[in-house]
Amino acid sequence: MLFFKVLKIHMNESASNPTADIASEYLEREHKDKQVLAILLEKFINQKDYILVQKTEMGGTQAYLGSVTLEWFAGRVRFASALPLFQQKYNPQTDNIEIDAESIDEIQQRPLDWSRQLPLVQYLAGRKNHKFPPVLVVINQAWVDNPEAAEWDGQGCAVKSTTDFTPLDKEGKVGLLNVSEEDVTIYALDGQHRLMGVQGLMELLKTGKLQRYKKDKSPDNTFMTVDDLIEQYHGREAKFHVSTYLQNLPKEKIGIEFICAVEKGETREQARRRVKSIFVHVNLMAAPLTKGQLAQLNEDDGFSIVARKIAAIHPLLEQRENRKPRVNWNSATVAAKSTVLTTLQALKDMSERYLGQKFPHWKPLDRGLIPMRPEDKELEEGIREFHILFDYLASLPSYRLLEDEDTPALRRFSFEKDRGEGNMLFRPVGQVALAQALGILVFRKGFKLEDIFNKLRKFDQQGGFSGMEFPQSLWYGVLYDPNKKRVQVSGRDLAAKLLIYILGGIQDRIERAELRKALADARTVENKTIGFDGKFVEPKQVGLPTVI
């Protein structure tokens, strides 16, 4: 009886509210449409020789956006230098074009740097949060390189495009792109080094090892194995888990954008010029990050993280309302009239050269690799150590002058307008050299910062860091170029060694002799050696300064 009462109430509600029935019917139909679409998409996506893509057009160039597995990318895409157009100048050993007077106008790519392959493979396999940007590829067909093919008309214009696209919607924006191996060949236009890295990854997973190459693809007789990779990045205890992770990498997907080698109505020469110009435009528009910007954004490099933190919180550097900024966050240099004390890039270099002695594993093992972010506890320790260093630096008489003077007066040379002190502590290169020396003394030689800065404060009071443009200065010819009358970055390492020496960190007789010779060489200009008294002397007459 209760059931019939409920049914009657429901029927009365439906009769009184037809909108609810319409909404319910619409939702049910929409659900069914989604199910049908999912079935159709699965059918099309799983077709072997076709890729589901979205058609785009920009600047008159049609392109097709999709995604492919890393395995497909490595196996199907070739280097642009292998285009039949370049076969006469193509070097199969390096996968590069041999540049000469005949081929220079045909070059579409920068030479491949094969020394980058192993770091790229290590990045893909060693970092779970890896990411490659989409690649730009060209679809070519065999008829393009056959002038007698039916696809060329009497005027040498193509009667069809090299891309075969089947639209699935009325507007022709979404559809299937033919990538059958029998019909097309595909070449990387932008992303050749990504292709190189993915191919290396596939080889490593297939054979268990990967050859290391020099830039020109000549082998250097060393290999990286899967076991080496697991131990280096994940540890032996994670071997089984990581092996499973590595085997799943080939199924990961990368974005890909296809353009045609020849468009309908183009001559072969017009097509070549178009493809070449697209490559140039892609690279010109992609401005690389500056070193300062990298230091701002890098969340993997421990030295950058520490530098950013100290720049923001240390009293010597922090931003305050009643004083001008002391850190240039973008540029790697300090202009003559700038009131900043240093740059974020210099702080990052100081962090690396100081803390790198304590945390050498913060640096990647191979050049070109992205470093692994340190553990939080180590980062906290690094920030603490670097903060202590800046506490001591702030105690130097030169930096205490900042309470009353601006940096330009302390940075400028004496011969410049408004004259200055020429103090190396107000030049990024001098700051980095000092941090480098202190890192070696503290973390490798066991010196204490308190003892070191007792000496440095005395040295600073006596003008040891100032007047670097005068022959009496230890930094003349080292950090100051007397010929060009400007600071020279190339003398940073020698300056660091000299600082280690005057602080008592070099006892070996042979090492001292080598340092003396290096100093004499630095003070030699146009075969004339300048002594500390400003007179020309024999190189052997240049001695080392007194240890503080």
pLDDT tens digit sequence for 96-153 = 555 443 443 444 445 788 988 988 998 898 888 889 999 999 999 999 988 899 999 9
C-alpha 194: how far from chain center: 13
Distance in angstroms (rounded) separating the CA atoms of residues 146 and 208? 41
So what's the pLDDT on residue 2? Answer: 46
Find which of 56-65, 297-306, 447-456 is predicted with most confidence, using mean pLDDT: 447-456
Average pLDDT, the chain: 86
pLDDT tens digit sequence for 480-516 = 999 999 999 999 999 999 999 999 999 999 999 999 9
Residue 487: which region, alpha, beta or left (left: phi > 0; alpha: psi -120 to 50)? beta
So what's the pLDDT on residue 104? Answer: 37
Q: What contacts 322, CB < 8 A, 6 or more positions away? A: none
So what's the pLDDT on residue 429? Answer: 96
Which carries the bigger pLDDT value, residue 32 or residue 366?
A: 32
Whether the pLDDT of residue 53 is over 90: the answer is: yes
* Burial tier of 339 (Cβ tally within 10 Å: 0-12, 13-18, 19+): middle
Whether the pLDDT of residue 5 is over 90: the answer is: no
Q: Is 199 helix (H, G, I), strand (E, B) or coil?
A: helix
Residue 467: which region, alpha, beta or left (left: phi > 0; alpha: psi -120 to 50)? left
pLDDT tens digit sequence for 321-343 = 888 999 998 888 888 788 999 99
So what's the pLDDT on residue 110? Answer: 56
Whether the pLDDT of residue 74 is over 80: the answer is: yes
So what's the pLDDT on residue 250? Answer: 95
So what's the pLDDT on residue 367? Answer: 67
Distance in angstroms (rounded) separating the CA atoms of residues 124 and 73? 14
So what's the pLDDT on residue 42? Answer: 72
Q: Residue 15: pLDDT band by 50, 70, 90 thresholds?
A: low
Distance in angstroms (rounded) separating the CA atoms of residues 13 and 20? 9
pLDDT tens digit sequence for 249-260 = 999 999 999 999
Among 43-52, 419-428, 483-492, 539-548, name the one with the lowest average pLDDT: 43-52
So what's the pLDDT on residue 129? Answer: 82
So what's the pLDDT on residue 279? Answer: 74
Average pLDDT value for residue range 2-6: 46
Average pLDDT value for residue range 263-272: 90
Q: What contacts 38, CB < 8 A, 6 or more positions away? A: none
So what's the pLDDT on residue 234? Answer: 55
So what's the pLDDT on residue 103? Answer: 40
So what's the pLDDT on residue 95? Answer: 58
Whether the pLDDT of residue 3 is over 60: the answer is: no
Distance in angstroms (rounded) separating the CA atoms of residues 394 and 183? 70
So what's the pLDDT on residue 93? Answer: 62
Distance in angstroms (rounded) separating the CA atoms of residues 548 and 409? 27
Whether the pLDDT of residue 460 is over 80: the answer is: yes
So what's the pLDDT on residue 437? Answer: 98
Q: Is 376 helix (H, G, I), strand (E, B) or coil?
A: helix
> 472 vs 40, 330, 465, 520, CA distance in Å?
83, 35, 11, 13
Of residues 497, 498, 504, the one with CA closest to residue 473: 498
Whole-number percent of the chain with pLDDT over 70: 86
Average pLDDT value for residue range 371-387: 93
Q: Which tokens sit at 230?
A: 């697991």
So what's the pLDDT on residue 291? Answer: 76
So what's the pLDDT on residue 443? Answer: 97
pLDDT tens digit sequence for 193-214 = 999 999 999 999 999 999 999 8
